[in-house]
Structure 1
Amino acid sequence: MLFRRKQEITHADTTVRARAKINLTLDVTGRREDGYHTVEMVMQSIALHDTVRVTTIHGEKKPRGIVLSCSLPFLPTDERNLAYRAAELFYKETGALLETCEIHIEKRIPVAAGLAGGSTDAAAVLRALNALHTAGLTDDELCEMGLKLGADVPFCLRGGTMLAQGIGEELSLLPDMPHCWVVLCKPPFAVPTKEVYQEIDSVDILEHPDNKGMMAALNQGDYEGVCAYLSNVMETVTAAKRRQIGEIKSFLAENGADGTLMSGSGPTVYGLFSDESRAKTAAKMLRRRFADTFLTETCN
């Protein structure tokens, strides 16, 4: 009688913090022939994060491929989700063996908020799979792969304080931003990034960010200078349609924020605070009106 050895089922998993970002500056500098806009912007990682757990399973009788789950039931869990597409891309480009890859996202970053929530989840999946499969991809190789998913993914892979140019993929490391507290407030509506970029071409931008001034402030560790140079041309489009953006900025300024700005294409507005107590008070007051209000801090 022949006996077959039962195939061993093996699990490997890792958990990655997928940090959100804010824009300290955002300038649109042109438009390429392929329709993509070129930008010059300074981006900053913050402590607010999603938790992305990735598990690879080998030896199952019926491999299940990529299985994505999320703490928010309304988010898609198939190829419409950037994290799912990140896993697909990784396996396609590396040739790593895919039997079952389980991904679970515990969402804390607001959705469609201008905080790179989808991009940072995708970046976390790439990092996790690179480790789990010991693929040995360098940061540059991961960023090259991430760019195929979205312009913010390379920054999310690296994090910190960076100047982004091109369509967002040309990254230059900047000195760490001086630590401060950040109050984030997302009004209860979404802003489609594509629509904002389409409209920016028809708007007269009267004031562009002073990126050189911002970088000089960062080089000098000048927190007040950083606050003074906060600027985002996207506000010209988004704030014109949504009065809540201006109202939130005014509230934050009147309640101790050293500087305020809309992040990305919006609609999230943030305030920078050197005083933690003031930041906590402002967040508590804002949360009474806007549920998606968060107290966090800069993260280098």
Structure 2
Amino acid sequence: MKVVKAPAKINLTLDVVRKRDDGFHDVEMIMTTIDLADRIHLTPLHTNRIMIDVTKGYVPNNENNLAYQAAQKLKERLGINKGVSIFIDKQIPVSAGLAGGSTDAAAVLRGLNDMWGLGLTMEELAEIGLEIGSDVPFCVHGGTAVARGRGEQLEFIDSPPPCWVVLAKPPIGVSTKEVYQRIKVDQLTHPKTDVMVQAIESENFKQVCDHLENVMESITFNMHPEVRKIKERMKQFGADGAVMSGSGPTVFALTQNDSKAERLYNGLKGFVEQVYPVRLLGKKHT
């Protein structure tokens, strides 16, 4: 059996640049990994099939699961007649804007590449991952990157300064599709992606916090006012910076101060059930 770590991602910035002719949107965003992770257990099977089991009941345990699709794509692409049992120990909240499904798929690609001795490069695995979802290529590599296009064009940069990341997710789901449908690109105030890159590369934590920005925030806040309240609480409890991740509903706060991280955690726990104090990872998988 092989166990692979599948870390969540957060968006330090998220910009929507334009709507494309195919109905999708071009984005520009900075993503980084955090130490909140699912564990993927891969066990070889003697029969040529894929089995999947998940600790959380509301995650699909069939071909609708992105981890299942990752194994299926590998088998199809390389003509593999082997079976695998995939068990997902789910720690990342579901439908939270943290790429939980995408990172599971990426971990399966990395794990099976190793277990089956396929010898594929990270770039080749990322290319297969793109057929599953636009966040999967980033999750294959991990680390910190500026993502463009649909999220698949990756420019890797330095890791942000080490800090605490305190995440809070309200008990709601957000439809990414619905958020995108409400975006009016010509009315957006665009994040300064280049300034955030400079802040990260100069290890200027204050500047990183000052330039956290997500153009989807106002839309999700209007649809779900409780998400706005979480961000306001984070500011009240002393967060150095706070912003929503992805299309939400998870909001995260950054701080380098241990006691401030504890205060944020304790203060938010009285307001919302799912709160996670974790560290920034930001390093690429090898």
Q: Greater CA deviation, 196-205 or 112-121? A: 196-205
Alignment of 1:102-181 (within 5 A): 102-181=85-164
Of residues 90, 94, 111 in structure 1, which corresponds to 2:78?
94
Q: Does 1:71 align with 2:86?
A: no
> Are the counterparts in 2 of residues 203 and 237 from structure 1 also a CA contact under 8 Å?
no
Of residues 69, 72, 92 in structure 2, which corresponds to 1:85?
69
Alignment of 1:214-293 (within 5 A): 214-293=196-275
Q: Which consecutive aligned stretches of 4+ in structure 1 deviate over 6 angstroms post-superposition? A: none
SS of residue in 2 equivalent to 1:74? coil
RMSD (Å) for aligned C-alpha atoms: 1.2
SS of residue in 1 equivalent to 2:93? coil
TM-score of the two chains, using structure 2 as the length reference = 0.96
The offset of 1:246, in angstroms, is: 1.5
Q: Does 1:22 align with 2:22?
A: no
Inter-partner Cα distance in structure 2 for 1:90 and 1:284: 44
> Are the counterparts in 1 of residues 13 and 31 from structure 2 also a CA contact under 8 Å?
yes
Corresponding position of 1:199: 182
The offset of 1:64, in angstroms, is: 5.9
> Are the counterparts in 1 of residues 255 and 261 from structure 2 also a CA contact under 8 Å?
yes
The offset of 1:53, in angstroms, is: 0.7
The offset of 1:192, in angstroms, is: 1.3
SS of residue in 2 equivalent to 1:295? strand
Corresponding position of 1:50: 38
> Are the counterparts in 1 of residues 18 and 185 from structure 2 also a CA contact under 8 Å?
no
Residue identity in the other structure for 1:169: E
Inter-partner Cα distance in structure 1 for 2:88 and 2:172: 22
SS of residue in 1 equivalent to 2:187? coil
> Are the counterparts in 2 of residues 160 and 176 from structure 1 also a CA contact under 8 Å?
yes
> Are the counterparts in 2 of residues 96 and 133 from structure 1 also a CA contact under 8 Å?
no
> Are the counterparts in 1 of residues 19 and 185 from structure 2 also a CA contact under 8 Å?
no
The offset of 1:96, in angstroms, is: 1.8
The offset of 1:36, in angstroms, is: 1.4
The offset of 1:57, in angstroms, is: 2.4
Q: Which structure 1 segments of 5+ residues have no match?
A: 1-12
Inter-partner Cα distance in structure 2 for 1:18 and 1:90: 18
Q: Deviations over 1:14-66 (max 9, x none)?
A: 111100000000000012211111000000100000001111123xxxx2610
Corresponding position of 1:298: 280
Residue identity in the other structure for 1:196: V
> Are the counterparts in 1 of residues 28 and 146 from structure 2 also a CA contact under 8 Å?
yes
Residue identity in the other structure for 1:210: K
Inter-partner Cα distance in structure 1 for 2:234 and 2:186: 27
In the alignment of these two chains, the number of paired residues is 282
Q: Which structure 2 segments of 5+ residues have no match?
A: none
The offset of 1:284, in angstroms, is: 2.0
